[in-house]
Structures are given as C-alpha cells and as structure tokens.
Amino acid sequence: MKSVGFSVLVFLVCLVVLPACEPEIITDPEIDDTQVIQGILHVDFQIKHIWIPTDRIIRVGLHVAVDAQSLYRGIYLQSANVTDTKKLYVFHLPPGTYYYEAIIACLCEGDSCSAGGFPGNQFGKKHTMGKFEIVKDESTLVKPTFQ
C-alpha cells in the first residue's frame, strides 16, 4: 500500500516536472502554416564549359515561374540566392507545371568571354530554361545545361 502511494507521488511529480522540460518551439511568424508544401524541386546547378575555365564562370540567377511568358517578363514565383560555393538548390512548390531559368556569367577580362561563346565581354550572361512537373510528396530533379 505504501509503495502504491509512493508511485502515485512519483507520477504526480512527473506530471508537474515533465511539461517544464519541454523545449520552447519558436516559429517563424511569416510562414503560413495553412499553406501545405506538397512537392520539392532540386536543381543540380553545375557549371561546365568547354572554352572557358569553370572557375571564371559564376552562377548568376535561378528562378521559377508559372509559365514561359512570366519567365521571359521576369515575373518569378521564386528565386534562389545563388553562390559559387553551392551546386544544389531546393524549391518547395505546390503540384503543377512550372518553368525554371538558370543564368551564368563570364568573369574573364578582355575578349575572352565573347571568344568563349558568351555574349559581350566581362559579365556577359548565358541563360537556359526548362519545363518541369511537381508531383505531390515527390521530388523532381532538373539539371540546367548551357549551350
């Protein structure tokens, strides 16, 4: 009987102590919890080039739009902060058909960029685009390639 009383006491203490140990969950107020993200786009943004060393080419932009016309007009749904130190980029999107645009630029000085196939000289850009599907609970991989 004594041990039952002790167990009840331990249980009551646990009831009081355990909720106090629960870590505080901090949520970003900007994120709308009602918006369900249903698919993922992975973009494997490699830089390959046959005429110019790849360390003289940088990623400049990576955008997603709802249709090709929006892409052309620069009305993007989402954009990535591209860097030289990251190849893989992730977008969370609802199911549907979308278009992406990837942009690279040449850093060489003089006329090396135009000789290597980039329009203009330093900071001349090349664009590529493609269509992709986002399926619910699945991830889609695209690999932009440049001419």
Radius of gyration of the chain (CA): 25
Q: Which residue has the tokens 């080419």?
A: 57
Binding segment toward other proteins, per CB under 8 A, in 4-12, 42-50, 54-62, 130-138? 54-62
57 binds other proteins (CB under 8 A): no
Binding segment toward other proteins, per CB under 8 A, in 2-10, 47-55, 57-65, 130-138? 57-65
34 binds other proteins (CB under 8 A): no
Nearest distance in Å: CB 142, other proteins: 17
Contacting other proteins within 114-143 (CB under 8 A): 123, 125
User: At a CB cut-off of 8 Å and minimum separation 6, what does 139 contact?
Assistant: 39, 40, 41, 42
Task: Supply φ then ψ for residue 95, to 5 degrees.
Answer: -60, 145
CA distance 120 to 111: 8
- The residues of the shown chain that bind other proteins, judged by CB under 8 A, are 28-31, 58, 60-61, 74-76, 78-86, 91-92, 105, 107, 123, 125
